[in-house]
Structure 1
Amino acid sequence: MMPFAFCTREKRWCEFAEPVDGESTKFLQSFALKYNMVIISSILERDISHGEVIWNTSVVIGNHGNIIGKHRKNHIPRVGDFNESTYYMEGNTGHPVFETVYGKIGINICYGRHHPLNWLAFGLNGAEIVFNPSATVGELSEPMWPIEARNAAIANSYFVASINRVGTETFPNAFTSGDGKPAHADFGHFYGSSYVSAPDASCTPSLSRYRDGLLITDIDLNLCRQFKDKWGFRMTSRYELYADTLARYVKPEFEPQVITDPLLHRKAS
């Protein structure tokens, strides 16, 4: 079983890659049906139909035990020890929102939480809850952890469930990342601290930093519409301006819109 794929240093992990309808999904389908749950399962996906390319994928299992769909991680980190580009590709599934019996959900996988436009796109597609399954360590990202998801919930008028693992992953072979630090066999402490944020800027207490836990919380999806109406972000945003800037930015001949003070570079007389 591969309940959470975390593959960055040891290629032996690839042995656990599986199709979307593989063993992990089949195992969880029975629980979704038995307990009337919608389950998001993170797997290391092996795309059998396309040359066995590997993806970081979340599978959405419906409360009837059916597979609703999948989302592949959009953003692949290349930060220090976390260089995942040798394991899987950037995702090609866009920003899907899955309509389930419990609401419309999106999945912003791990490193994608650092990209505001990733959060935005799930909101534009109608998400009411966005889940952020993550495996991240203290030294790298902990100061940002309480901020990014809450900001996304506020800016996009949806709930965010921030999920992070706990513990230390130790590898059999020491490694370096070309940063001058001595060789080491782990990434550091995965700090947990999972929590849920709401569009009204409130949030639940976080789970433990050191122990596994289960967070259960009631949420009122009506809050999404109420805060859209209150703040009017959708009506006051200028998407046409952003779209124009982005369309120009992705072209090789892009020039930043900078107006320079004509006196800035004036030569002294």
Structure 2
Amino acid sequence: MRGKILRERPNCNHSCKFVQSLVLEDMEARSINTNEHSNEEPKVINSDGSSFEANNGSLAGYNSLYHLLESNLPPSLFKEASRLLLGVNCGKMVSPMPMPNSVYAMAKKKSFDLQAYRFNAEPEMMRPPRIVRVGLIQNSVVLPTTASFSNQREAIMQKIKSMIEAAGASGVNIVCLQEAWTMPFAFCTREKRWCEFAESIDGESTQLMKELAQKYNMVIVSPILERDINHGETIWNTVVVIGNHGNIIGKHRKNHIPRVGDFNESTYYMEGNTGHPVFETCYGKIGINICYGRHHPLNWLAFGLNGAEIVFNPSATVGDLSEPMWPIEARNAAIANSYFVGAINRVGTEVFPNPFTSGDGKPQHADFGHFYGSSYFSAPDASCTPCLSRYEDGLIIADMDLNLCRQVKDKWGFQMTARYDMYAELLANYLKPDFKPQVVTDAFLQKESS
């Protein structure tokens, strides 16, 4: 089948459509075989400790789209597909970056995916490079959800500790963890007992992060389930930003709470009240757009208006709901707002003791779906890295020259050409009860209706 397709290959001007048709026809012909890949189909821990094959949403058992193409395209076509898929940074593809052998050994021992890349900027006459090494960590839960909550959290904390230690050994300056990293993403169940995982801003997980931040001279972005002791023990979906001296710089609460499918988060917490803060660290200005906020362009915009150079998007989302959107939204935000974005998603399938329903007519089920990982970085010039695995724990590292943010602003002028006054006027009018949309109706339509 593939030989026939290659003989009919069109010219490079149509390479994008050709790559798409090649992959689709290969899949239809079942020529993509999961046995060709080094990664086995993932196992899922049942509530009783047994395992079953994951329903991970992929048609071909692939580890990532990048590896799917790499494994099935001729080198020349894969190079062109990579250019279209990942973009170009300073005239070149985003290049892999070697890490110390000791770090690869740590990744192998702890069984997590390790990738590293470099984003460049053009040399400047007046400013030296501002290179920051940034890491993203995606992880699965460790124990069955029937284990004691304290044991579940401790097991996850020990896993994350070893992965942060690998980041520290790699010279990472800033690392961001996934949404609600200390617990299973149990908000689908609507059971209030999971509130026990909530902790104060300076709770157990933060104490561990403070130790690691100070040890490795690292800024750590730690998303947790917060219990606000001073305000009636209200629960929030919160990110704690810990400075490289082991100090708490500040916190930010999730702005947008989903009400779709199994995302029953509003049963536990409501919209945050911290605005769109940008945290000025010794390595750069960072913002955090938590999970569902990535679907709201104005949320991304607000962090840019406040001066962010890097915006993290710690998430927990599943394949059936959002996977086609995942490689687009964070990348588009990086382009539109001229900053770097690090998108993080948890990985694995979490099974809960009591089946629950989604309120959409589907039968009751005990799992949320497959969290497909696929964490990645995107740059303001539209270049991006390949994603981490859909199945495995992972650490992805990127060196980024923050000078690229201003260079892209100067080149494209998105901020200069924006019409903030018009947008502000429209939004102000939209909030009024008597708002009327600005619609110009064809006069012939009016005549026909009369």
Q: TM-score, normalised by structure 2?
A: 0.59
Alpha-carbon separation, structure 2, partners of 1:194 and 1:65: 26
User: Does 1:186 pair with 2:364?
Assistant: no
Root-mean-square deviation (CA), in Å? 1.3
Residue deviations 1:184-203 (CA, integer Å, cap 9, x gap): 01111000000000000000
Over 3 Å counting, the alpha-carbon distance change for 1:239 and 1:62 in structure 2 is same
Q: Secondary structure at the match of 1:130?
A: strand
Q: Secondary structure at the match of 1:79?
A: coil
Over 3 Å counting, the alpha-carbon distance change for 1:114 and 1:4 in structure 2 is farther
Among candidates 369, 379, 389, match of residue 208 of structure 1: 389
Question: In the comparison of the two structures, how many residue pairs are matched?
Answer: 269
Alpha-carbon separation, structure 1, partners of 2:357 and 2:422: 43
Q: Secondary structure at the match of 2:400?
A: coil
Residue deviations 1:210-250 (CA, integer Å, cap 9, x gap): 00111111001000000011111111000000000000111
Shift of 1:171: 1.1
Q: Which residue of 2 aligns with 1:56?
A: 237
Q: Which residue of 1 aligns with 2:292?
A: 111
Over 3 Å counting, the alpha-carbon distance change for 1:268 and 1:262 in structure 2 is closer
Q: Which residue of 2 aligns with 1:3?
A: 181
Among candidates 326, 332, 343, match of residue 162 of structure 1: 343
Alpha-carbon separation, structure 1, partners of 2:335 and 2:361: 39
Q: Which residue of 2 aligns with 1:38?
A: 219
User: Does 1:171 pair with 2:352?
Assistant: yes
Among candidates 378, 394, 418, match of residue 197 of structure 1: 378
Structure 2 gap segments, 5+ residues each: 1-152, 154-179
The one-letter code sitting in structure 2 at the alignment partner of 1:230 is K
Among candidates 235, 250, 254, match of residue 431 of structure 2: 250
Q: Is the 8 A contact 1:168 1:190 kept in 2?
A: yes
Over 3 Å counting, the alpha-carbon distance change for 1:111 and 1:4 in structure 2 is farther
With CA pairs under 8 Å and 6+ residues apart, which has the higher RCO, 1 or 2? 2
- Give the structure with the higher percent helix: 2
User: Does 1:224 pair with 2:405?
Assistant: yes
Between 170-179 and 103-112, report the one with greater CA deviation. 170-179
Alpha-carbon separation, structure 2, partners of 1:13 and 1:110: 19
Q: Is the 8 A contact 1:7 1:87 kept in 2?
A: no
Over 3 Å counting, the alpha-carbon distance change for 1:172 and 1:202 in structure 2 is same
Rg (Cα) greater in structure: 2
Which portions of structure 1, spanning 4 or more consecutive aligned residues, are displaced by more than 6 angstroms?
none
User: Does 1:73 pair with 2:284?
Assistant: no
Alpha-carbon separation, structure 2, partners of 1:241 and 1:32: 43
Q: Secondary structure at the match of 1:263?
A: helix
Among candidates 197, 205, 228, match of residue 47 of structure 1: 228
Alpha-carbon separation, structure 2, partners of 1:267 and 1:39: 63
Structure 1 gap segments, 5+ residues each: none
Q: Is the 8 A contact 1:3 1:24 kept in 2?
A: no
Shift of 1:101: 1.1
Q: TM-score, normalised by structure 1?
A: 0.97
**Percent identity of paired positions between Structure 1 and Structure 2:** 80
Alpha-carbon separation, structure 1, partners of 2:350 and 2:259: 18
Q: Is the 8 A contact 1:171 1:185 kept in 2?
A: yes
Alpha-carbon separation, structure 2, partners of 1:175 and 1:238: 46
